[in-house]
Amino acid sequence: MLRKNPSGHTPTVSEKAYVDPTAIICGKVFIEDYVYVGPYAVIRADELNEDGDMSPIIIGSHSNIQDGVVIHSKSGAGVVIGSHTSIAHRAIVHGPCEVASRVFIGFNSVLFNCVIGEGCVIRYNAVVDGITLPPALYIPSCEHVGPNSDLNTFTKVDLSSLQFSEDVAATNVRLVEGYSRLRNEF
């Protein structure tokens, strides 16, 4: 469901994207080509900053926002999700936040006030808060990474994690294509 926010912004969704009918997209949101937004996802840009404005939430092409994901921007802060990025089931991405391209965010993970470098893999139930992650960093499951974390203790993304991330992104692009063919059947 696409909704206008109280300040009058309406979502812009590419005709080449697929948004499940149970998902809620509200406000100043831009969804690019071949993005898959799964059931019960919520993408909401509706809070204003001190100047009465807001930055958008942008979902880059070929990315997927899976079932139950919440993306929200606090006090008008922006959220940018790069292309070919996967945000897995029930993850929370809370702005301000910037997630580069070819990133994998695992189930139930939480991102807030952070920058995630290109090619990072963040496994399930991890929290990343108040920090910038360099490209291709691997964050194991259940880790809490913040301003006082020593990033040198984490490894680079290995080949199998990279392949898994690429496979998830490709699978969800195929879902966009499949569900798009079904649109006229409902």
Q: Over 90: is that where the pLDDT of 181 sits?
A: no
| CB atoms inside a 10 Å sphere around CB 74 | 14
* 54 close to 62: Cβ distance less than 8 angstroms: no
Query: CA-to-CA distance for 7 and 18, rounded, in angstroms?
Result: 25
Tokens for 172, please give them. Answer: 């969800």
* 96 close to 71: Cβ distance less than 8 angstroms: no
State which residues form the domain around 150: 2-185
pLDDT over 90, % of the chain: 88
**pTM above 0.85?**
yes
pLDDT tens string 79-95: 999 999 999 999 999 99
Mean pLDDT throughout 100-126? 97
For residue 184, the model assigns a pLDDT of 59
124 to 54, 85, 90: CA distances (angstroms): 30, 15, 10
Tokens for 42, please give them. Answer: 């919520």
pLDDT tens string 129-176: 999 999 999 999 999 999 999 999 999 999 999 899 899 989 988 999
Mean pLDDT throughout 14-41? 97
Domain count, the chain: 1
pLDDT over 70, % of the chain: 98
3-state secondary structure of 70: strand
Query: What burial letters (b/e) apply to 157-172, b meaning 16+ CB within 10 Å?
Result: beeebbeebeebbeeb
For residue 93, the model assigns a pLDDT of 98
Read off the CATH number of the domain in which 8 is found. 2.160.10.10
